[in-house]
Structure 1
Amino acid sequence: MFKKILVPLDGSTPSIKAAKRAVKIAESSGAEVTFFHVQHSLESYINLPHIFAAETYNQIREELKAQAEAILDNAIKEVDAQGVTIFKKLSSGDPGKQIIEESQEGQYDLVVMGSRGLTGIQDFLMGSVASRVSKHAPCAVLIVR
């Protein structure tokens, strides 16, 4: 049924639940799983990056990358993935956009992701990442609460 499953991870409890669900699906279908983390680009945190010394800027980038790697490594430790092939992949930019692009380019059959608790006017104005992915991904999307 499924051959390739993409699991976007942000380190939250819902994303870990999604990782566990994806592994169970992979166990029964023989699919491979990719744990995918999108870190916001550093420029989204810093309005004027040119005012920072290059060394400090690079240190911050490296720290963010280390945190992203830790999120992926921790997810792998959390799931019981006996017999399931799990890949790790990092990206940077807008999470919704990057997840949608990865699901297209990687030709995934399924995206399994955690829900995100945006509510009310904030959800109306911005939409959550899960909502955006479910509307625009080229494959099935399972949102885990």
Structure 2
Amino acid sequence: MDGSDQSKMMVMKKRKPMRVMVAMDESDFSFHALKWALDHVFVTPEPAAEKTEEASPEEVDMVVLVHVQEPFVHYGFPAGPGGTAVYATTTVVESVRKAQEENSAALLSRALQMCKEKPNIKAETLMLEGDPKDRICQATEQMHVDLLVVGSRGLGTIKRAFLGSVSDYCTHHAKCPVLIVKPPKETAK
């Protein structure tokens, strides 16, 4: 068997379908990361001329779009003379939660639409509540993902120290490889 026959054999070898999680938020950075992953991580091989059958669902790459909304915490605040504490009513709390869920659903729907444009990829969404850093890392472990993709806001060292960084935290705590997609050069500051 010469070198060209060996390379043909390697191409014909089946690869394990990838399970990739992409962390989504309201920023353009997360949508840039999703687009980058769809264009570069999920490379569709050229179909062989003689092979025309559809891939089974077990052979298709999977992308899990995860959005973590922080829990709504209604604090009491002093109002009026004497500093009487005022708390949000149940209807206000429910209204805020409903708005958060609607925003999350719209965000994930937009991301899901981007995935539908890519052939041979199955996509699903996951909406969680809690601290994004912790919940994303927990989800990667529970779902046995092969790769976590997160966008980077391009924060400097000082801002990152004060604000924290989901991408930085995930690189140190996720139980899978993490790919941080930096913002495009024209928007990075």
> What's the TM-score, normalizing by structure 1?
0.87
One-letter amino acid of the counterpart of residue 23, structure 1: L
Residue 52 of structure 2 is matched in structure 1 by none
Residue 100 of structure 1 is matched in structure 2 by 137
Distance 2:36 2:66 in 1: 15
Count of matched residue positions in the alignment of Structure 1 and Structure 2: 143
Distance 2:76 2:17 in 1: 44
Residue 135 of structure 1 is matched in structure 2 by 172
Task: Report which of the two structures shows the higher radius of gyration computed on alpha carbons.
Answer: 2
Q: Percent identity?
A: 27
**Unmatched 5+ stretches in structure 2:** 1-15, 46-59, 78-85, 183-189
Give deviations 1:114-145, integer Å, cap 9, x for gaps: 11233232312443110000111111111111
Q: SS state of the match for residue 5, structure 1? A: strand
> What's the TM-score, normalizing by structure 2?
0.68
Measured at CA, do residues 64 and 108 of structure 1 come closer, stay the same or move farther in structure 2, by a change above 3 Å? same
The structure richer in helix per residue is 1
**Unmatched 5+ stretches in structure 1:** none
Pairwise CA RMSD: 2.1
2:109 aligned with 1:70: no
Distance 1:67 1:86 in 2: 19
Give every structure 1 segment of 4 or more consecutive aligned residues whose post-TM-superposition deviation is greater than 6 Å.
Answer: none
Structure showing greater relative contact order (alpha-carbon pairs closer than 8 Å, 6 or more residues apart):
1
One-letter amino acid of the counterpart of residue 68, structure 1: S
Give deviations 1:74-97, integer Å, cap 9, x for gaps: 112234222210000000111111
Distance 2:111 2:17 in 1: 21
